[in-house]
Amino acid sequence: MDHLEKLEAKSVYIFREAYKEFKNLCMLWSVGKDSTVLLWLARKAFFGHVPFPLVHIDTSYKIPEMIEYRDNLARKFKLNMVYGQNTEALKNKQTYPLGTTSRIACCKALKTEALKHTLAGDWTRYRMNHSTGEYEEDTNKEPYTGVIAGVRADEEGSRSKERYFSPRDRENEWDVADQPPELWNQFKTDFAPGTHLRIHPLLDWTELNIWEYIERENIPTVSLYFNQGNGTRYRSLGCGPCTAPVKSEARTVKEIIEELRSGKFSNIAERSGREQDKEDGGGLETLRRDGYM
């Protein structure tokens, strides 16, 4: 068994443990490379079927190609696709692109708050109707209390503090100092009723592992990750106004892998193009403590 096969086997095991132990599961799908690999692994774990909803938080500022890709793949794989958004903040123009708030405050409103209320079911959720291929208001208001996410420990500092099975409080808030130990692959899955859980099957994967797996499995990804002739590509995808591409000549998955192996980005953070991460020193960890994905 090679390294990728070991990573895949562990992730599949975590998926099955989560499905066996917890009710009201959902999986976050940001449409980026990590959560798309997560989707691929979920289909492997359950023999081509994903037995829980995929939840996307639509800020309305995502690069349009991302939304087109999301919906095309949802239709192709017949995914139970749900999205939610903070319509009040959008209606009142309380967003960074309109200059009425900071980037961090915008993230908190359009991502953290939208995620919290979408999971709780107390804001409107929209579910894809596969008979029409369009979204309609979801009549299911049941809260999701087990949330599977494509978090990788190597992506940035606050994510390195996560567990595979990480408890949150009822408000989705994260106490970084109060997490169960996970020693020798002994996962704690026994939590008090009502505990909100975040589950992270990709915690041990690296950026390079993700691209190697995409190549091996021939997983479709958003073309924004590739240089399309202007000498740049996106290394990390987010909202259009706050995400910048990096300089790169990589046009294929193989060339991205070669680029990562060469050490070109060894001293450059994967999220270097995410402007909200630079707004203050602990901005992302602050957001994650409050429930950010």
Q: Give residue-wise pLDDT tens across range 69-121.
A: 999 999 999 999 999 999 999 999 989 888 888 888 899 999 999 999 999 99
The owner of tokens 């992302």 is 284
- Claim: this prediction has a pTM higher than 0.75: yes
| pLDDT tens digit sequence for 122-173 | 999 999 999 998 999 999 999 998 999 999 998 877 777 888 999 888 777 8
Q: How remote is the C-alpha of 47 from its chain's centroid?
A: 22
Token couple for 240: 């259009």
CA distance 225 to 33: 9
CA distance 172 to 188: 19
Task: Give the SS3 label for residue 166.
Answer: strand
CA distance 92 to 69: 28
> What type of residue is 260?
L
How many helices and strands, by DSSP H and E, does the chain display? 9, 10
CA distance 206 to 212: 10
